[in-house]
């Protein structure tokens, strides 16, 4: 159980690969058929829909910078993801991605705050002090901490050095903290 009074004034920020869908370590999701939801993720998003006022995806996608996929192709993958989430009673209010390569100057990649700031511009009611960032990498946790969010780590094979406020085995484990809502 999370020791926080979470309500519709809170925003949930989610990383994509490794949190919502299966992450391809050493590779990328380059087509719709490669996008596979993590076990329980759809159920989790249906639960979380009832808890959080906004649910936002923030994802680093350097596959665009590497010219492995176009912005249009990535948007098609995100449209598929969102439509499947809606069919189970969940929702994603916004999807933000950083297309730059790692170590690129002026990058919008996490842990930089650019995607969060864009979300706040689109949804001015977002209060970072009433937000939770759920991710599976150090950059996700640093992103959340730098903005004053609570942070939750989805445990994976990724080596993590940053300490999150909470740890979970899956997005569903996180969502089940709220199942009584």
Of the residues 15, 93, 136, 140, only one is catalytic, namely 15
Q: Among all chains, which residue has been given the structure tokens 């950059």?
A: 139
Strands (E), 4-53: 11-14
- Answer yes or no: 17 catalytic: yes
- 56 contacts: CB under 8 Å, gap ≥ 6: 11, 12, 13, 14, 92, 93, 94, 95, 96, 119, 123, 126
- Answer yes or no: 122 catalytic: no
Q: What is the enclosing helix (H) or strand (E) of 161?
A: none
Query: Which tokens belong to 151?
Result: 């942070």
User: How do 94-98 and 11-14 pair as beta strands?
Assistant: unpaired
Of the residues 7, 17, 127, 140, only one is catalytic, namely 17
Instruction: Tell me whether residue 117 is exposed, middle or buried, using C-beta atoms within 10 angstroms of its C-beta: 0 to 12, 13 to 18, 19 or more.
Output: middle
Active site residues: 15, 17
């Amino acid at each position: 159980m999370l020791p926080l009074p979470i309500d519709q004034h809170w925003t949930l920020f989610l990383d994509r690969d490794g949190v919502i869908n299966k992450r391809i370590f050493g590779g990328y999701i380059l087509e719709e058929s490669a996008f596979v939801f993590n076990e329980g993720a759809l159920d989790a998003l249906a639960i979380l829909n009832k808890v959080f006022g906004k649910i936002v995806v923030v994802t680093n996608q350097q596959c665009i910078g590497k010219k492995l996929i176009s912005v249009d192709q990535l948007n098609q993958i995100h449209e598929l993801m969102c439509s499947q989430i809606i069919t189970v009673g969940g929702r994603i209010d916004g999807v933000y991605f950083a297309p730059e390569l790692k170590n690129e100057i002026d990058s919008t990649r996490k842990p930089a705050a650019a995607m969060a700031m864009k979300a706040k511009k689109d949804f001015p009611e977002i209060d970072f002090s009433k937000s939770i960032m759920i991710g599976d990498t150090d950059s996700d946790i640093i992103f959340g901490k730098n903005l004053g969010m609570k942070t939750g780590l989805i445990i994976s094979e990724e080596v993590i050095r940053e300490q999150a406020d909470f740890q979970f085995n899956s997005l569903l484990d996180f969502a089940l903290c709220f199942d009584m809502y």
